[in-house]
Structure 1
């Protein structure tokens, strides 16, 4: 038990530093990194050389491709914001209805899901919440609605980088993880559409808004299920949110409620729909429509091998080299990366929007400076993950000789040490109920599904092997449990509070969101248990 507690010390550092002391991740994560490296070398007796090289590979992976993806998305977003195009997009959506429940679904749920799909990292809560406040929502209500709504799309956010990271950390097949995560998240996303309206209007308000809830919830969840299972993880949120926004907007444009639901004391004239130009709406969405087309184009069966560098003569598309493990090369498909594709989509669309290249360059530099703290935090956490998953000996796949360590002398990883401890005290029939909790804890600690999967993904896999359970199901259970952590994560709540002007009232917000976290985890735990023992044939 003592080795498991020592191995978990970096996690305790994150637990104390982030939610308890409320320190920013950019300060806490490097401290946790130092603790991880020292424990690996001094307690687990891993060689300093291989430990530091593993830390380097984790950090590099945290920047390229992980943080490069939201960087590309935020460059385009900031460019659209600076030139007024994002305001036109937001104004058009706000003009469709004055019913407060429908606004919450369109902006908090649909538009929030779209922002989660393209960039994540706080934008899906901060931007919709600020729009809702501008439309007349009370700040507390706006924050609560957006935190509850921003659950369904989380595992596939930032062009599915949390699920991609889970695949990279666990070495499990990405498409299998995508399918299982989609099968868990689609029903939950549908339920959370109801929860979004319930958060602001309770049961009576839900009853009166059933048609628009069904349109929003079904359009998103069904599309999420289909894309995650039959197309790709990367496109899941982008396509599902676009379908959701289109279906909800079309429904609202055709159905004008004679008695819209408003907040107490409001009159129907409070938020009269504003006129908008359809051409401007199309142009404001053009970069994201091009993104969807280009991501599909480079991932088709006939084109994928060229863009991932596996086709003869196209090896230059793949950056790869050995850092510490010849069996686990560092790889970066730079042109196939959604970060690059987002930048290309923006550059193709900007001339049609009248945006100059100089403006793009200015926003590129501004975004790079803006994201330095996030780069440091995520690089540190991915570095921690790589070190915690380091085991010896490391063999050369070709020669079968030890590159690091000694043949016949096995040193298990820190994560394996924790997994063995869990296996010794938890029953196989109980663990499926608990697997989502690790995702929730990970996001509560780090504020990021990506970081949570990096920290706990391999723990889920190894524990599943020890208990005779499906590794894909347990890893996906943690992936699907992460949105529950998003609702109560100190970082998410601070972002929401800052966006609506409620700084220093984060505790009040958390007391509201935790009411939705617990039912979410109960439902998800039962779903994972059902897949494990009642419907195992439905697990990919």
Structure 2
């Protein structure tokens, strides 16, 4: 059996950590500096991780390879399975011509692109994160912004930044529940503490989105609506996570934020909407467009442009139908206990051949991540597939049309599939060989100062895996142990790990690829990365300061068990 050595290089934790960081540095260097395409960056980082695992950590080559294959399988299913079906659902609406109606419905609420960014990316994206997660919000809201006139690059950066505030409570609070199960700390208590952290960012994210869309002018003109929506979302997050339900927090907050936006727009109209729209139109004209007479948002299957612009109640309902159906199906699957249990019972646990039972954790226990969960029915991807089939039937698309859209979509996603598969293979190699825990143990050795640094572990974990749940699986117990040794509140640092993952998601290669794929910017992940990395680092610095203060002078903010 292989047992990871936390300090394999000359017995030095510092030197070992610096070497263990090489795969991550490879990703950041190739994407941010060398501007490689994401699939090449992911493959290069995977090779580096495998070399470090075999040469420095002494992991047997066959176990290194098997770790990579399990990660690759996880990248294909469920991650890309979710993205593939999410984008297929969107492209069905394009093929049917109904997506143009959705654009008109959104324009009827407001044709101001700054308002649309808040409603689509922040509010509706938050609801999708609450119900589905795993990249679906980025994929769906990215193409929606493209459809209402956003340039591809602006749509990608907006949805990635928006997909921060709801992440901690995403997929019915799975990241928090995972942390609670691993540490033995009641997940309700962890969620309540996160409810004293995440809302600070939720309150200002709409302002950040407005700035991304229209700069300082937009902030000056739009701040009342942005603050009202942000504060409504933030207060709802705080109230729900502390007094109502951790699991329902994002659903309540997203719907409250959306309601606040719609109600306020009945009484207040922001200035500069036409100027922002004209600016957006000019940007679109300079961006490379698809063939004349087609709709090609996100590289979607071409469809004839519609000329009838009169909206009837029936057309409004049909335009909203796919998204109402998504909400209905995911709500039922998550919130109806009998159905949720029935779906979970279909999951198949597969001990990875040749790997399961052969790898121990640094604590000497059998590694649990060597058992692959095949969620063939309960996966959000399968639920999106079911949604798409129903939509195709309702929209009266033929089986041939629906299959053609699916196959075209599959071909378009081939490099995205390669990227995500390689990044998840990288994550599994780093985790099972011990590289990730070496980095975490090194950072955790800073004593009382660790309170200021603890969010960095969650940030790193999510940056590598693309999942806040995975970041908690990696580091929750480490945070707990380090806190107990340093005399800090374990629940606070476990919560900080989750909150750190919130701001790390936007720079994960997995999410960058999903965003690029959705808006038709395949191969330009490095450009998107350079636009969002500073937002991620800035929010991380703010979170580190907040958690550090909450461990000392602001300890009164933290609820007690």
Q: Deviations over 1:163-210 (max 9, x none)?
A: 499769978899567665565333311221233335567788657645
Contact 1:127 1:499 in 2 (8 A): yes
Larger RCO (CA within 8 A; separation ≥ 6): 2
- With over 3 angstroms needed to count, the CA separation of the structure-2 counterparts of 1:139 and 1:509, relative to structure 1, is farther
Q: After superposition, where does 1:278-289 map in structure 2 within 5 Å?
A: 278-289=313-324
Equivalence for 2:347: 318
d(CA) in 2 for partners of 1:265, 1:462:
49
Q: Does 1:213 align with 2:226?
A: yes
Contact 2:127 2:255 in 1 (8 A): yes
Bigger drift between 281-290 and 484-493 goes to 484-493
- With over 3 angstroms needed to count, the CA separation of the structure-2 counterparts of 1:289 and 1:265, relative to structure 1, is closer
Q: Does 1:348 align with 2:390?
A: yes
Equivalence for 1:427: 447
d(CA) in 2 for partners of 1:107, 1:203:
21
Q: Does 1:449 align with 2:462?
A: no
Equivalence for 1:415: 436
Q: Deviations over 1:2-27 (max 9, x none)?
A: 22222222222222222121112211
Equivalence for 1:385: 427
Shift of residue 114 of structure 1?
5.5
Equivalence for 2:400: 358
Contact 2:154 2:213 in 1 (8 A): yes
Equivalence for 2:47: 34
1:263 equivalent among 275, 288, 308: 275
d(CA) in 1 for partners of 2:325, 2:17:
48
Q: Deviations over 1:212-239 (max 9, x none)?
A: 3344224544555577776676x76567
d(CA) in 1 for partners of 2:450, 2:393:
54
Unpaired runs of 5+ in structure 2? 1-13, 283-308, 358-365
Aligned-CA RMSD value: 4.6
Shift of residue 340 of structure 1?
1.0
Equivalence for 1:436: 455
Q: After superposition, where does 1:86-97 map in structure 2 within 5 Å?
A: 86-97=99-110
Equivalence for 1:80: 93
Equivalence for 2:306: none
Shift of residue 262 of structure 1?
4.7
d(CA) in 2 for partners of 1:483, 1:265:
31
Bigger drift between 141-150 and 58-67 goes to 141-150
Contact 2:125 2:137 in 1 (8 A): no
Equivalence for 1:70: 83
Unpaired runs of 5+ in structure 1? 310-316, 392-412
Bigger drift between 57-66 and 206-215 goes to 206-215
Contact 1:220 1:240 in 2 (8 A): yes
Q: Deviations over 1:463-518 (max 9, x none)?
A: 552342566654553443355456678985996899699x999879957x677555
Equivalence for 1:481: 500
d(CA) in 2 for partners of 1:346, 1:57:
28
d(CA) in 2 for partners of 1:384, 1:74:
25
Report SS of the residue matched to 1:46.
coil
Contact 1:112 1:150 in 2 (8 A): yes
Q: After superposition, where does 1:498-509 map in structure 2 within 5 Å?
A: none
d(CA) in 1 for partners of 2:525, 2:329:
42
Q: Deviations over 1:371-405 (max 9, x none)?
A: 332332222222222232226xxxxxxxxxxxxxx
Contact 2:183 2:480 in 1 (8 A): no
Report SS of the residue matched to 1:320.
strand
- With over 3 angstroms needed to count, the CA separation of the structure-2 counterparts of 1:221 and 1:280, relative to structure 1, is farther
1:528 equivalent among 537, 547, 558: 547
d(CA) in 2 for partners of 1:120, 1:19:
25
Contact 1:224 1:240 in 2 (8 A): yes
Report SS of the residue matched to 2:225.
helix
d(CA) in 1 for partners of 2:278, 2:137:
34
d(CA) in 1 for partners of 2:533, 2:332:
41
The aligned length equals 495
Equivalence for 2:210: 197
- With over 3 angstroms needed to count, the CA separation of the structure-2 counterparts of 1:537 and 1:214, relative to structure 1, is closer
Contact 2:137 2:163 in 1 (8 A): no
Equivalence for 1:314: none
Equivalence for 1:293: 328
Q: After superposition, where does 1:134-283 map in structure 2 within 5 Å?
A: 148-155=161-168, 159=171, 163=175, 181=194, 183-198=196-211, 206=219, 209=222, 211-222=224-235, 224=237, 240-241=253-254, 244-252=257-265, 254-255=266-267, 257=269, 262-263=274-275, 276-283=311-318
Report SS of the residue matched to 1:263.
helix
Shift of residue 76 of structure 1?
0.9
d(CA) in 2 for partners of 1:248, 1:362:
38
Contact 1:189 1:217 in 2 (8 A): yes
Q: Deviations over 1:267-303 (max 9, x none)?
A: 9xx9xxx753343233233233233333333333334
Contact 2:85 2:381 in 1 (8 A): yes
Shift of residue 75 of structure 1?
1.7
